[in-house]
Amino acid sequence: LLDLIQRVSELTGITAPVIVGSQSLFAVTENVPAIVKDSVECDFLLASGGIQAIQIVNETLGILSPFSTAHGYFADGLGLATVVWRPVGKIASCRSQMNMDRS
Amino acid sequence: LYVNAANLKSLTWQSSAIIRAMAVNPEQSSPLGSHQFIDQLALAYHREIAARLLASPDEVLDRARSNLKRWMKVHAGTGTVHALEEWQTLINTLLISELVAKMTEDSDEGQRLRQSTPFGGVLSEQERKEIFARCEKGIFA
């Protein structure tokens, strides 16, 4: 995850790329559901970099890129079209998933 | 990772930056930056890989096995290994026709599997770029 953050930052010039999707749970807890730990992809919201930043990340670090073939993980560059702000529902569904994983 | 005062300040700043970007950069809402586009792209890549798999199964499966072996070493001891083991089982137990159906399944399950695809290196960079351009054209058509 840290490697991807650094590479996305270097590639796009965005100093603090925003992680959205499942991997963003790591910002608040290390006790994440198994589905998050199993994942080999990380979603980056590249809101300040424009379409060019999204394209370059998907091309260079995206699924089936030479980078992902070499390392076994990849980045999805996303814009605001994919992001829905639903904090209450999201938190509730994550809590429920974490409880299910513990039981 | 821990959330401390500095992190919170940074997160708050980033949220404002996103809102500012929405206001000044409408292209950020383009379908090109949507997860739906990425899912369609992954499906298009896998349809091409499936065609290659039908034509030269040994070559494609050897590459997938070699990727899985290498990645399992890289991800040893992490949860990611489960996703890789799942693919290893599929590759070792399914018939080619079943594998093709699985990797090109247009469903949530198909998308989940494609996210940990072991078929890196089957398509050349040029082929990958052509498929990307085709999908890009598709969403603006």
DSSP-assigned letters across all residues of A35-68: HHHH--EEEEE-TTTHHHHHHHHHHHHSTTSHHH
In this structure, of A28-42, A86-100, B122-136, the range with the lowest mean pLDDT score is: A86-100
Interface of A with B (CB under 8 A): 16, 18, 26-28, 30, 34, 36-41, 43, 45-48, 50-51, 54-55, 58-59, 62-66, 68-69, 71-73, 76-83
The one-character DSSP state at A78 is E
Nearest CB to B17 within list A47, A55, A79 = A47
**pLDDT given at position B52:** 96
- Cβ of A26 within 8 Å of Cβ of B1? The answer is yes
Of the ranges A99-103, B1-5, B15-19, B73-77, which is most confident? B73-77
Write the CA distances from B53 to A16, B100, B123, integer angstroms: 40, 8, 11
Distance CA B53, CA A35 (A): 28
Contact call for residues B12 and B5 (beta carbons, < 8 A): no
With a cut of 0.90, is the ipTM above it?
no
